[in-house]
Amino acid sequence: MIKIAITGPESTGKSTLAEQLAAQYNTVWVPEYARTYVGNLGRPYTLADIEAIARGQLALEQELQQQARGILFSDTDMLVLKIWSEHAFGHCPAWILEELQTQDYNLCLLMGVDLPWEPDPQREHPHLRQYFYDWYKRELEALQVPFAEVGGQHQERLQLATRHVEALLHNHQP
C-alpha cells in the first residue's frame, strides 16, 4: 500500500487535492476528521479535543485503508495536529509526537500558500499562512521524511502533485 499525506497550512487546497488525486487513481481518500468534529462541537476546542481528533483521524485512516486500491491519500496527518496543538496550547501530547515519528507515509505533499485565502468558520489564521508553511517545512526536514512542495493555482497543483505521485509509483514498481 502506497500512502501519501497532504499536509500544510489552512486554506491551501489539501482536501481538494486529496479528492482529485483519489479520483484520478481510482481509490479512496481520508478526509480531515477535525472538520466534522469541530463542526459539531458547539464550543471552543480544547487540547483534549485535539487529542480526540488525532485518535479519530488515525481510526478513519485505518478504516479507509481497507478500501484503498493500492494507494491511499490522507487529507491530513499527525504533523497538522502537532503544529495545531503547539500553536494553540504551547505543547503537544507525547503520544501524538510518538505517532508522528512512526507515520509510514511514502510521501508527504506540502501545500504552498499561493492560493487565495478562502474564509471558513473553522479557519483561524489568514495572515499566518507563510509562518505556518515555514514551520511545516522545518518539521518535515527534521523528520527526514520524503516530501515535495506543491504550489501554483488549482490545475497546476494537481499536475505537480501527479508528477510526484507518478515518480513515487515508478520507484515502487517490483
Instruction: Return the amino acid letter for 141.
Output: E
C-alpha cell belonging to residue 44: 471552543
CB 140 within 8 A of CB 147: yes
pLDDT at position 8 is 95
**pLDDT at residue 64, rounded to an integer:** 97
Residue among 165, 164, 161 nearest 17 (CA):
161
Residues 6+ apart with CB under 8 A from 151: 111, 112, 114, 157, 160
| 19 vs 118, more confident | 19
Q: Where are the domains of the chain?
A: 2-171
pLDDT of residue 127 exceeding 90, the answer is: no
Dist CA 155 CA 5 (whole Å): 19
Q: Give 161's pLDDT tier (boundaries 50, 70, 90).
A: very high
How much is the pLDDT for 174? 64
Q: What is the pLDDT of residues 25-65, one digit of tens each?
A: 999 999 999 999 998 999 999 999 999 999 999 999 999 99
Distance between the two ends of the chain, CA-based, in angstroms?
Answer: 13
Q: Is the pLDDT score of 172 beyond 90?
A: no
Give the bridge partners for 73, in sequence order: 4, 29
Average pLDDT along the chain: 94
**158 pLDDT higher than 70:** yes
CATH class of residue range 2-171: alpha beta
- Per-residue pLDDT of 56-108, as tens digits, reads 999 999 999 999 999 999 999 999 999 999 999 999 999 999 999 999 999 99
What is the share, in percent, of the chain residues with pLDDT greater than 90? 86
Strand pairing report for 29-30 and 107-111: unpaired
Q: Per-residue pLDDT for 119 more than 80?
A: no
